[in-house]
Amino acid sequence: MRFDVITLFPDMFNAIKDEGVIARAIKKSHLSIHTWQLRDFSNNKYKNIDDKPYGGGAGMVMQVKPIRDCIHKIKQSNPKTKVIYISPQGQPLKHKLAKELSTLGSITLLCGRYEGVDERIIEHDIDMEVSIGDYVISGGELAAMVLIDTISRQIPNVLSNADSLNDSFANNLLDHPHYTRPEVLDNQAVPEVLLSGHQANIDTWRKEQSIKKTQEKRKDLLALMQRK
């Protein structure tokens, strides 16, 4: 998978390029992340890419031309790339969407700042608008990194055994509880079944715990599962 990221803050992406699961996947050539400084596509000497909103009001709007030119440039070497705008107005990000996107060869992520982009970008230049949740953050960069991380985890061989592809959410259930040594600490004991060595019983217990936790904490997810 190749990610191209259009941003005013390319250095923010060093956070995932330099460390952890994503860094290792890049080293192993399972994926690459290419950032594009949107200011390089500005058409004035001050390198501005935003302007005041028509109709008035607070904040600034990202202009069409620099973004359009940048996407055009990316598409010259990547004609089939899927262009995704990350915004609070997008389709909510879920496990299923991440899994679908993980099968693509190339994704371009547009990170918004200020009040977002001129609507003509959304109408003409974007294949899809995605949101990572019902809240606003100060820029699309952190959201883009969330998207890159969750998509990358679904690409074969990106996760090592030690990372483990946690399949919770694949079935709309929360994960079961986990324990490690010691067996007893301050009167808190590890559930006996986990020490029994009886794998079928352990699997059943974990499934029950998943359902119980989901019932307690996320009834909305349980409703989704029962509809399947």
**Annotated catalytic residue within 24, 53, 88, 206:** 88
**Annotated catalytic residue within 11, 51, 100, 167:** 167
Residue 49 or residue 143: which is nearer to ligand 4G3 going by CB?
143
User: What are 196's strand-pairing partners?
Assistant: none
In contact, 81 and 72? CB cutoff 8 Å: no
Closest CA to 70 of 4, 11, 118: 4
Q: How far is the CB of 159 from ligand 4G3 (least distance, A)?
A: 24
Residue 133 or residue 191: which is nearer to ligand 4G3 going by CB?
133
- Of the candidates 23, 139, 155, 190, which one interacts with ligand 4G3 according to CB under 6 A? 139
Residue 136 or residue 162: which is nearer to ligand 4G3 going by CB?
136
Instruction: Report the alpha-carbon distance of residue 131 to residue 37 in Å, rounded.
Output: 22
Pairing of strands 50-51, 184-185: unpaired
2-61 binders of ligand 4G3 (CB under 6 A): none
Residue linked to tokens 């883009």: 144
Instruction: Report the alpha-carbon distance of residue 2 to residue 44 in Å, rounded.
Output: 30
Residue linked to tokens 């600034």: 60
Amino acid identity of residue 127, one-letter, is D
In contact, 102 and 1? CB cutoff 8 Å: yes
Candidate ranges 1-9, 80-88, 101-109, 204-212; the one touching ligand 4G3 (CB under 6 A): 80-88
Catalytic site includes residue 68: no
- Provide the CB-side half-sphere exposure for 48 (13 A, CA): 9
Catalytic site includes residue 220: no
Site string for ligand 4G3, 173-192 (x = CB under 6 A): --------------------
The yes or no reply on residue 214 touching ligand 4G3 (CB under 6 A) is no
**Annotated catalytic residue within 24, 69, 115, 206:** 115
> Which residues would be at the binding site for ligand 4G3 (CB under 6 A)?
86-88, 112, 115-116, 131-133, 135-137, 139-140, 143
